[in-house]
Amino acid sequence: MAAVHQSVLDAIGGTPLFRLARLGADIAAPIYAKAEFLNIGGSVKDRAALSMVLAAERDGLLKPGGTIIEATSGNTGIGLTIVGRQRGYRVIVGVSDKSSAEKSDILRAYGAEVVLATTSVAREDPRHLFNVVTRLTEEIPGAWLANQYDNLANPDAHVRTTGPEIWAQTGGKITHFVAGVGTGGTVTGTGGYLKEASGGSVTVIGADPESSMYGGGDGSPWFVESIGHFLHPETVEDRWPQAYRSEVVDVFERIPDRESLLAARWLAREEGILAGPSSGTAVAAALRVARELGPDDLVVVLLPDSGRSYLSKVHSDAWMRQWGFLEEGDGLRELLDGAAPLVAVDAGATVGEALEALRTAPGGVAPVALARAARPFGVTATEVVGSVEREVLAAALADGFAKPGDPLGALLGPALPTVGVGQSPAEARAALGEARPGVSVLVDGRVAGVLPRAALV
């Protein structure tokens, strides 16, 4: 008989395990998925939200008539809204401008007030999402900032619930636990419990975007929401979450965006599980790990949220092609392979330095990206702040409008239009329009080359 609850809050937790029988068909070690998208708010963050609110009430930080405020990529905000509204609070959620539109719509549907802010600026910038919600907390009487990244009630939720559930569901036979690392609360709490319960025999694997700093990347942007540690190149102090304990994670599997996104799509098509892109990252990592194990091992991978929040992104063929994650049919690959190597100019360059770089740029035009000491993973489309043309710089120098040592900023043009490598030449020409000097071609969300107008028209 199905359970009967007095409140939706009583339905948080107790999620099932599903064996990934099709994706793991040729793998000796069984792989089970912890279906956290079946929580009442659609994600694992419901657990942390309930834990943080109850702790704040116990500690006197949140009082009747108060306001809950949080900065989020979406899921924690949804959990806090459900919990907060059920317990009589006003809820204001600051949402990253990189999050899917569906998440903001869901938040409003549950009764949250949504404030959109950027996370694409330095952490010290007053426009940064966290600084926006901090100001709101200071301005609103009775407001409480949940601060999931540093709130120890976040990992504690998983010590008390998620970890014990997995241990009981597997009869203590789990040998490997795989989870993405965002705030670090899930992997710290669940992984820490499983290590203790097993006497240290459970191996904890962090599934991480390839460029995330958790696993050793350069901190440049990626396209999987809700996991990883990003570092803006102009950030002065790099702060790591207090909810994350690095000693719990034994090893990281660093997963490229394309592998993550395709794994999320395979989950839906092969296993009947419509999950988000961070679930794809975790599943891709679990498959890598399980291939090296035997039939006596047992892998549990945590799927954080539902794919219903990403229908306009990872589960959209058009979006996947637009950002260069899908290549089907007659795309731009042949033109891209025949183009000259990409030349990218740093936003901090001088006019003279930019002109020198443009000597080898296709068509004399290049994207201008935020300065970064090294780009081992290339330039993401989200880092591009403008474009620059050789003719424009040469004319400015000839006319005396600029000097070689002047900053480039005043001569920047708008960013080049972008097209995915899987889009057609006709779509590239449409993006080019009548006046633009070229298009940036994206492969896996990163600028792989520039096709000048002459190559397309």
Q: Are 119 and 97 in contact (CB under 8 A)?
A: yes
Q: Catalytic residue at 173?
A: no
Max Cα separation, the chain?
82
Q: What is the DSSP letter of 411?
A: G
Q: How many CB atoms lie within 10 A of CB 28?
A: 13
From 34, 45, 103, 313, active-site residue: 45
Which CB contacts under 8 angstroms, 24+ apart, belong to 190-196? 190/158, 190/159, 190/162, 190/163, 190/166, 190/302, 191/163, 191/248, 191/249, 192/155, 192/159, 192/163, 192/245, 192/248, 193/158, 193/159, 193/162, 193/163, 193/164, 193/167, 194/163, 194/166, 194/167, 195/248
Backbone angles phi, psi at 50, to 5 degrees: -60, -45
Please, which residues have CB within 8 angstroms of residue 269's CB and are 6 or more apart in sequence?
Answer: none
Closest Cα to residue 84, out of 70, 95, 105?
70
Return the amino acid letter for 208: D
The DSSP string of 240-274 is PPTT--GGG--EEEEE-HHHHHHHHHHIIIIIS--
Reduced 3-state DSSP string for 62-75: CCCCCEEEEEECCH
Active-site positions read 45
